[in-house]
Amino acid sequence: MMTTPETTSPEETSDRESTVEQLEQEGDIAADFLEGLLDIADIDGDLALDVRGGRAYVSVEASGDEDSLSLLSDPDTVQAVQELTRLAVQNRTGRFSRLILDIGGSRDARQQELEQLVDRAIVRLEGGASQASLPAMSSYERKLVHDIVAARGFVSESYGEAADRHTVIRRS
C-alpha cells in the first residue's frame, strides 16, 4: 500500500506566515503609536516587540529614569493605554487586535497580584466556603486567573456582563 506524505497547501502555509506577519505589523504600528505618545508625555522608554501566544506583545521598558514609567505602570493606566494602542492598530489595519501591552513590568506585577488573590480565595474554600468570587477584571486577567486556578487544582468560571464580568472559583 502506497501512502502519500501529508502536505500543507500554499494557502495554509501563507495564512500561517501572514498571521505572524500581521502580528509583527501590529507590533510595529503599536510601537510607532506608543513612541509618539511617550514623546508627547516627555517620557523615556525603550520598546520591545514580540509575538506570544498568537498575540502581538509590546513592552515599554525604562531607559534610565525609572520614575517616568511609573506614571504609566498603574494597571488601570496600562489597560487604558493598551486600548488606545489597539484602536490605533485597528484603525491602520482594519483588523481587530488582541495586542498586549506591558509597561515597566506591570504585567508581571499584576500576575503576582492575581496569584495572591487566587491563593486567598483558595484559603476561603479550604475553610469551608462553597465558592469564592473575585472582583471584575479584564478578559486577559480572567484568562490568567483561570490558568492559575487550574494549576492549583481548582475550577473557575466567568460570570456577568461587560465591565462586571468576574471569576468564581470552586473545588474541582
Task: State pLDDT tens for residues 10-59.
Answer: 333 334 444 899 999 999 999 999 999 999 988 889 999 999 888 999 99
Sign of the CA dihedral running 114, 120, 121, 122:
positive
Q: What is the mean pLDDT of residues 53-79?
A: 84
Which positions ≥6 away from 91 have C-beta within 8 Å? none
- Distance CA(102)–CA(72), nearest Å, equals 10
Q: What is the mean pLDDT of residues 79-106?
A: 94
Q: 55, 99 in Cβ contact below 8 A?
A: yes
Residue found by looking up cell 483588523 in the block: 95
pTM of the model as a whole? 0.73
Q: How confident is the model at residue 95 (pLDDT cuts 50, 70, 90)?
A: very high
Grid cell at residue 147: 490558568
- Distance CA(25)–CA(58), nearest Å, equals 12
Domains, in order of start, for the chain: 15-104 (3.30.300.20), 109-171 (3.30.1370.50)
- Distance CA(138)–CA(145), nearest Å, equals 10
Instruction: Give the CA angle between residues 164, 97, 33 to the nearest 5°.
Output: 105
Helical pair 75-93 and 10-41, crossing angle rounded to 10 deg: 130
Exposed / middle / buried, residue 118 (Cβ in 10 Å: 0-12, 13-18, 19+): buried
- Distance CA(76)–CA(5), nearest Å, equals 51
Q: What is the mean pLDDT of residues 150-171?
A: 96
